[in-house]
A and B are shown apart, each in its own frame.
Chain A
Amino acid sequence: MDLTDTEDERDFRLRLRDWLRRTLPTLPPPPPAHDWPARRAYDCGWQRALYDAGYAGLHWPTEAGGHGATPAVHLIFLEETERAGAPYVGANFVGLLHAGPTIAAEGTPAQRARWLPAILRGDEVWCQGFSEPEAGSDLAALRTWAVREDDTYVVTGSKIWTSHAEVADWCELLVRTDSAAPRHKGISWLAMPMSAPGVTVRPLRTLAGSTEFAELVLDRVSVPVGHRVGEENDGWRVSMVTLSFERGTAFAGEVVACRRTLADMARTARDNGRWDDSSLRRRLGRLNAQFTALWRMTQWHACAGDAPRTGAAAVSGSVFKLLYSHARQELYDTAADLLGPAALDAGHPWTAARLSSLSYTIAAGTSQIQQNIIAERGLGLPKGR
């Protein structure tokens, strides 16, 4: 068990730190929270800066346009960027953290060449079209269907809660390609251009008032057969690869950001007098333990090779996601107690974060679903009912 940097890791850390010190002050001011086009531009600008400096797709395989770095180096990247207060992946979440990795793992060389460089450069933004009005937790109940006509799929149906759909160029889309097959056996994973005729995006408001997600109505949308990643009707397996990236690694950087927030909270408490309340202090101390250990768990999973590359979703991703989503909610509930009446101002960043934290136990598989997965696949308990 070794947690120290190797010489290479240390060099990498120091070089990155230096680059961040020089680069972050040159960034434009962050855009207003609810202005999605401006946020897209900002997030993509940051991604472009990373790309130009050689930090994009660090741990992606070289044949996917990445640098083939070890998971340890990737974690150092997350640690240093978050610690320095660098921008969040934002609109590039899907592309960088799960659609891109899925294409890297399952795509053909031509597909990798078509989509991955654009993701890494921050040129193209992706969204995720998995959930449907009748298929949420029970994702395999999805009905959006595709009919094959020569070398195109004609897709009809609807998707819901699609984050960043308004500003996305591509959608990782799950469709039914064989309605006669058992439900898990008739699904395919397609890359759909959002500009295709027949795609309608209807923004939906979140409880925070933002149009962060949308409903997609798909009316005879043509998608070339060459845009299918994986075999026809093998999309369920491919989607499990996507979900394993989404649950396993996508939130790792946020743990570091939460630790930074926690330290800010402690300083705020000291300044506003709440520090004298031992029950509040002890909650902060407890959160410190949780987030410290969550970060160590991330390192453990990365070193144990649990960070997914291919194959079935690792149970460890569900364990992490379950713990992290609840810890994040506790973090911002504690922030509210610390702020007192000031927490009733929805403009306060911690209040905004408190609202958004409510989605963490729902999106990317609810806490109940994570617990089902842990029980059945991690502990070998009989299939639940």
Chain B
Amino acid sequence: MDFRPTSDQQALRATARRFLAARFPRDRLRRTVDADAAAGADDRLDRGLWRALGEAGFFSLRLPEKEGGAGLGMPEAVLVFEEAGRALVPGPMAATHVAAGLVPGAADGAAVVTALDGPGVVEHLASADAVLLTGGPTVHVLPAGRGPRPAPDLPTTVPLRPLDPTTPLHRIPGPLPGDAGQRLTGTDAQQLRLHATLLTAAQQLGSAARTLDMAVEHARNRKQFGRPIGAFQAVQHVCSRMLARTDLARSGVYAASVTMTVSEVSAAKLLADEAAVRNARDCLQLHGGMGFSWEADVHLHLKRAWVRREQWQPPAQAEELLALALLDDGGIAPRNV
């Protein structure tokens, strides 16, 4: 056992961070926010960014080299998705990643692939080229696209006023047609869901780590009563709990990327959802009035965290699965023997 990231893995993470800082810096995020807020559900996801992400390997990195990938595994994917979560990269990242190799164009970012994991909401439908239906025992893919009915094969799609300005959502009220679109043969729906769930957890982890950094930086710099607010214990203890929560989620996410068991992936998602949402709220609180402003980025993290929490295994579902796992094996059998 050596749980530490290898030097290659550390280098990959650093490369992803540099790439995102150059390609999707804060002012770019803020411009996207303002443009999307005006466009509502009719967004146009930045295709140039999507292609750049594709070229950088965000979607293809687990494909074999002969299929244009990098032949890497989930531990590497989780590290780069953590960085994407830190930078609040918009778009159906997890869905497009798991579609790579299954849906043409997904791997290199030429196509935007979103997903519907059971009845509910689907993100970026108006920008998507395809929708994965992943809620059933088999995976299906539907064409999607622009126009008044972005996904003609879906029963009804109702645009929502998006809570997170950079994640436009459509609601699908009715039951899904069981045989819609094209069935992807040879694809294990359960595996695909596990991968997408963990990649979403990794994004939540990245967001949690970012709001922790933002809170600590603010606590060091903002002065009240003649001293930095970070000298007040009430503030310090909030920050300490943010760190503890983040570290616990990180342990869960990284371990799950190695074992890929159903219960570890559920644990990772549950703890990362909690870290992302609660850290964003704590960060907001420590920013005072500024935390409530549109100008600060805190609300973007909180809103995105709320959205991701509902995607790919919401907490109630994760908790039920984890409870059942206790009856199965006591949850403590080491799986590596």
Contact = CB atoms under 8 A, between A and B. Distances in A.
Given A293-B252, A378-B240, A382-B227, A288 B1 contact: no
A288 B263 contact: yes
A378 B259 CA distance: 29
Contacts of B326: 262-263, 265-266, 284-285, 288
Contact of A289 (B227, B243, B271): B271
Contacts of A296: 3, 251-252, 254-255
A289 B252 contact: yes
Interface in B300-337: 316, 318-327, 329-334, 336-337
Given A3-B1, A10-B337, A319-B243, A289 B236 contact: no
Interface in B239-257: 239-241, 243-244, 247-249, 251-252, 254-255, 257
Interface in A261-305: 262-263, 265-267, 270, 278, 281-286, 288-294, 296-297, 299-300, 302-304
A252 B41 CA distance: 49
B11 to A, nearest CB: 14
Given A290-B271, A371-B241, A267 B266 contact: no
Interface string B254-284: 1101110001101110110000000000000
Contacts of B337: 5, 10, 13-14
A385 B231 contact: yes
Interface string A369-385: 01110111011111111
A266 B320 CA distance: 12
B66 interface: no
A292 B1 contact: no
Contacts, number: 201
A126 B276 CA distance: 43
A4 interface: yes
Nearest to A14: B337
Bin the interface of chain B by size.
35 or more
A322 interface: yes
Contacts of B248: 290, 293-294, 297, 323
Given A260-B332, A323-B244, A381 B320 contact: no
Contacts of A370: 240
A303 B236 contact: no
Nearest to B322: A285
Nearest to A70: B1
A4 B75 contact: no
Nearest to B329: A263
A1 interface: yes
Contacts of A282: 316, 319-320, 323
B47 interface: no
Given A3-B255, A384-B236, A285 B323 contact: yes
A368 interface: yes
A259 interface: yes
B332 A286 contact: no
Contact of B1 (A2, A14, A291, A297): A2
Q: Which of A265, A282, A299, A385 has the most CB of B within 10 A?
A: A282
A253 to B, nearest CB: 12
B237 interface: yes
A381 B255 contact: no
Given A371-B237, A374-B244, A382-B220, A263 B330 contact: yes
Contacts of B258: 1-3
A270 B327 contact: yes
Contacts of A303: 1-4
A201 to B, nearest CB: 36
Interface string B219-242: 110000001101111011101110
A297 B219 CA distance: 27
Contacts of B325: 285, 288
B104 interface: no
A293 B241 contact: no
B7 interface: no
A187 B331 CA distance: 46
B48 interface: no
Nearest to A321: B244
A347 to B, nearest CB: 25
A27 B252 CA distance: 36
Contacts of A262: 326, 331
Nearest to B245: A323
A286 B258 CA distance: 21
A293 B1 contact: no
B9 interface: yes
By CB atoms of chain B within 10 A, which of A296, A316, A322 has the most? Answer: A296
A256 B337 CA distance: 17
Nearest to B1: A72
A375 B220 contact: no
A254 interface: no
A6 B2 CA distance: 9
Given A1-B257, A2-B2, A267-B327, A322 B270 contact: no
Contacts of B252: 289, 292-293, 296
A289 B263 CA distance: 8
A288 B220 contact: no
B185 interface: no
Interface in A64-95: 72, 75, 79, 83
Contact of B244 (A9, A10, A291, A322): A322
A278 B319 CA distance: 10
A294 B250 CA distance: 10
Given A3-B3, A282-B323, A381-B220, A293 B267 contact: yes
A161 B28 CA distance: 58
B247 to A, nearest CB: 5
Interface of B: 1-6, 9, 75, 216, 219-220, 227-228, 230-233, 235-237, 239-241, 243-244, 247-249, 251-252, 254-255, 257-259, 263-264, 266-268, 270-271, 316, 318-327, 329-334, 336-337
Interface of A: 1-6, 9-10, 13-14, 72, 75, 79, 83, 256, 259-260, 262-263, 265-267, 270, 278, 281-286, 288-294, 296-297, 299-300, 302-304, 316, 319, 322-323, 368, 370-372, 374-376, 378-385
11 contacts: A3-B255, A79-B334, A285-B321, A292-B252, A292-B264, A296-B3, A319-B244, A371-B236, A379-B216, A381-B228, A385-B232
Given A292-B263, A292-B267, A381-B216, 7 more contacts: A1-B75, A283-B319, A286-B270, A293-B271, A375-B240, A380-B220, A382-B227
